[in-house]
Chains A and B, each alone.
Chain A
């Protein structure tokens, strides 16, 4: 068992707007391998919620099966949580979301959970534009079963024992773009300066926000020949666009040269400011983003940043006209009006 985390805080640690310190957003101690990228993603999630001052009891954490899916235990201990069957987290998230839209939904999945067994679930959650943050902790291997290639492993990359992968990868970012996702980003567990603003923007986005995080498996995929190792990722990472998250209450004070920055105002009034590294990159033009990604992939570069955002699209609640009141708060008689009403309804279909 790992040592417990000391119950002590830095005396200069500041509380956020609702009076909680960053340590109030932690969960229990991680039982993942020491050095796992997932723990860094967890730390970035903790920081994001703390900085957004989200009340823990208004957060719902969901996951499926795998190393990644263990991580909801390690953040925001005071949140709601559901650990579903392998690959079935999107369905649970969709159902929960339909029943109660007052919560902030965060789903944590992995490349195995999302791109193999659960890919059919993932694509429909994207298609329905479920209002949630969906993180794929992407390390290219099945860590819990000792390091077999996953569906995101690059062709030609080597396993720890030297075996070469012969199948091409599924890129969740391209997949999401193609399916009409409204917020698509990629980041790296080892770069919190980029990851935290992206997560905060994704949490504030209305609709499905997919964040693909390269999160190295320190035990089975951090060797030479791996394309998902810390070293390889750092060498090939290209920050295509960098995001600054500006909460609603704060004024924008930094000016950028014209043409280098785009501001996107989210539904809650907060602003994501995107600084473009390449002048002709337009993160709101789905087609051009897709071709840019293709270009960088062919160059062997891992494009990162908030790659695409569309704030016009309507989310599942708009489309399905769901109730704004959580089902749990609707009086039972109204929620279930009885068999007479049901018969009445059925008559209309005859």
Chain B
């Protein structure tokens, strides 16, 4: 193999699995260390730099970082990254002085954002401090988009939502509440320098089965129903409720139903558990609230008698693979399940009836706009999409990432620069050596198990819909959990010309990551290592030829616990532990001269 080029920012970035997996590339290990040191304000602001809504995301994030966490490769459970984020948000002091502010002198450029959800708010967050005037059009009377309408308040308290949105809006964003955009053409005629569409995927799918019409208003569309509950248009539901679908929206629906009258709440799934779309922890939380989840039930009709919904009929099925490996179902029998109300939560779609098809915005497959993946620009220069409105439902952290990308494009567009010109990431690599066997990070491995989130007890939480279920980590839990982080951003950095091949690092490595061996082709080399490197998703580090024998140092990054012993036992400092700090530049930031 060729020597690994560690000057390519991606190499070390991939070693920080959590940061690599995060769409917004939040510097997770660094904020965990800050929390460990009690620097909650710093931890909060570091989060805010990349993900804008630490308090909201610390409760609601889909956590792509956690399954990626290296800890899952050496023990069962990842670091509770998301919960630690919430610790920073819950314990921070007044940080208003450290928030970005709008300059007194404006650029004279106006940007319209459609929908006051996380994507548009991120665009505003990035552009207002640069001197842009941002106008957000919002159909509802309150900002937040899906974060307010679809995430129930027992998961995300309104106070947290209001505070973090206010940090952006209070910089001087003009939000026109109660003003849905009815015509893109008309909006384009208002002379904005750029338009950002962050209106989400607002149309919940219906279930067109026999009896649907007759059942009438006892059938609810999940996201619309949640919105009605959030805005207090709906206060109750029948005792027996069926939820069709098993995604995260379904989980929010069933838990909400439990709070406003639902006693016998069943979630009906077509497939077995491994195929569920909902996050495992949301399933757990629903089951804790005595929601039954029934697998292998395919809905066939709504049963209506005398104009009144009686329940639903399902086919019970068995899934197996056919010769081609495709899952096929075999019907076992038909069952009737009584219900007073049915909530349909089987997905949502984008809908742009208000975008005229002759304004230069092209639509492609599934009637989705054609959007460039990097720049977020549509086929009409100056019109950008982000969040769920770009490629359908994802989650908040993706909307934030889209917002940052769109803001860079808008800033370029308004200055007459090509939107394809993107600032590269800013990287620093600093040795953490403090003494012979002393490091500036906590390099000792903690065997603690993942802390379990405490919940408000069932009786208490059902009293009020806005009672937050998760109480957050206490000080003791936090103290133990932060030590579980392996500090993957403290990189093992190797200088081949210093190596005397004494084997000290190879011998001391607790997880057998290192090998000194003749070079070879990757596939073959992987089999020859101290412990064969089976996880091909993790790259190998291969040094140049070593001075004494010409062999190479190979490191399998897969289960390195960043204990620093290789560097500690290296007599020539060929190994060093250096902190890798990667900043994804945002709109208006220019590398080393960044205004951060």
Contact = CB atoms under 8 A, between A and B. Distances in A.
A42 B507 contact: yes
B572 A10 contact: no
B544 to A, nearest CB: 18
Interface in A99-152: none
Contacts of A12: 531-532, 534
Contact of B531 (A4, A13, A231): A13
A300 B501 CA distance: 22
Interface stretch (A30-38, A266-274, A314-322): A30-38
A39 interface: yes
B500 A6 contact: no
Interface in A35-55: 35-37, 39-40, 42-43
B445 A8 contact: yes
Contact of B571 (A2, A3, A35, A231): A35
A4 B74 contact: no
B411 to A, nearest CB: 45
A234 interface: yes
B400 interface: no
Given A5-B510, A33-B571, A231-B548, 18 more contacts: A1-B437, A2-B568, A3-B444, A3-B564, A5-B508, A6-B510, A7-B447, A8-B561, A10-B74, A13-B531, A35-B571, A39-B503, A40-B503, A43-B503, A190-B503, A218-B571, A222-B500, A230-B548
A216 B399 CA distance: 58
Contacts of B437: 1-3
Interface residues of A, number: 34
Contacts of A6: 444-445, 510-511, 561, 563, 565
Contact of A36 (B74, B444, B445, B504): B504
A23 B511 CA distance: 9
Given A8-B447, A231-B548, A234-B549, A34 B504 contact: yes
Q: Chain B interface mostly helix, strand, loop or mixed? A: loop
Given A12-B532, A43-B503, A5 B565 contact: yes
Contact of A35 (B439, B504, B564): B504
Interface in B480-524: 500-504, 506-508, 510-512
Given A1-B437, A42-B507, A43-B503, A34 B444 contact: no
B511 A40 contact: no
Contacts of A4: 444
Nearest to A37: B502
B395 interface: no
B571 A189 contact: no
A234 B547 CA distance: 11
B510 A34 contact: no
A337 interface: no
A35 B549 contact: no
B570 interface: yes
A80 interface: no
B559 A230 contact: no
A86 interface: no
A11 B569 contact: no
B463 to A, nearest CB: 44
A42 B571 CA distance: 17
A10 B500 contact: no
A279 B35 CA distance: 68
B329 interface: no
Given A3-B437, A3-B563, A3-B568, A8 B504 contact: no
A39 B508 CA distance: 9
Contact of A8 (B502, B503, B511, B549): B511
Interface in A170-220: 189-190, 192, 216, 218-219
A174 to B, nearest CB: 27
A3 B502 CA distance: 20
Nearest to A222: B500
B443 interface: yes
Given A3-B563, A10-B559, A218-B571, A40 B447 contact: no
A51 to B, nearest CB: 14
Given A3-B565, A34-B568, A192 B510 contact: no
Nearest to B445: A6
Interface string B558-578: 010101110011111000000
A18 interface: no
B357 interface: no
B532 A34 contact: no
A192 B503 contact: yes
Contacts of B571: 33-36, 218-219
Given A10-B511, A13-B512, A35 B548 contact: no
Interface string B520-556: 0000000000011010000000000000110000000
A106 B440 CA distance: 40
A9 interface: yes
A9 B510 CA distance: 6
B394 interface: no
A40 B501 CA distance: 11
Contacts of B444: 3-4, 6
A5 to B, nearest CB: 5
B546 to A, nearest CB: 11
A34 B571 CA distance: 5
A229 B239 CA distance: 83
A307 B485 CA distance: 50
A189 B501 CA distance: 10
A7 B563 CA distance: 11
A218 B502 contact: yes
Interface string A11-35: 1110000000001000000100111
14 contacts: A2-B437, A3-B443, A6-B565, A10-B74, A11-B559, A23-B510, A34-B570, A35-B570, A35-B572, A39-B504, A39-B569, A43-B503, A189-B502, A230-B500
B527 to A, nearest CB: 12
B532 to A, nearest CB: 7
B548 A234 contact: yes
Contacts of B439: 3
B73 interface: yes
Contacts of B572: 35
Interface in B142-157: none
A108 to B, nearest CB: 16
B450 to A, nearest CB: 15
Nearest to B73: A11
A345 to B, nearest CB: 53
Nearest to A235: B548
B510 A231 contact: no
A182 B346 CA distance: 79
Interface in A266-301: none
A11 B531 CA distance: 10
Nearest to B510: A6
Given A5-B565, A35-B500, A234-B548, A10 B531 contact: yes
Which 4 A-B residue pairs are closest in the complex by CB-CB distance? A35-B571, A6-B445, A43-B507, A35-B502
Name, among A6, A9, A36, the residue most crowded by chain B CB atoms within 10 Å (CB to CB): A6
Given A7-B445, A34-B571, A35-B569, A230 B74 contact: no
Contacts of A230: 500-502, 548
B422 to A, nearest CB: 38
A192 B507 CA distance: 10
A30 B507 CA distance: 11
Nearest to A233: B548
A2 B439 CA distance: 11
Contacts of B532: 12
B503 A11 contact: no
A153 to B, nearest CB: 20
Contacts of B502: 35-37, 40, 189-190, 216, 218, 230
A10 B503 CA distance: 19
A157 B447 CA distance: 49
Contacts of A37: 502
Nearest to B564: A3
Nearest to B570: A34
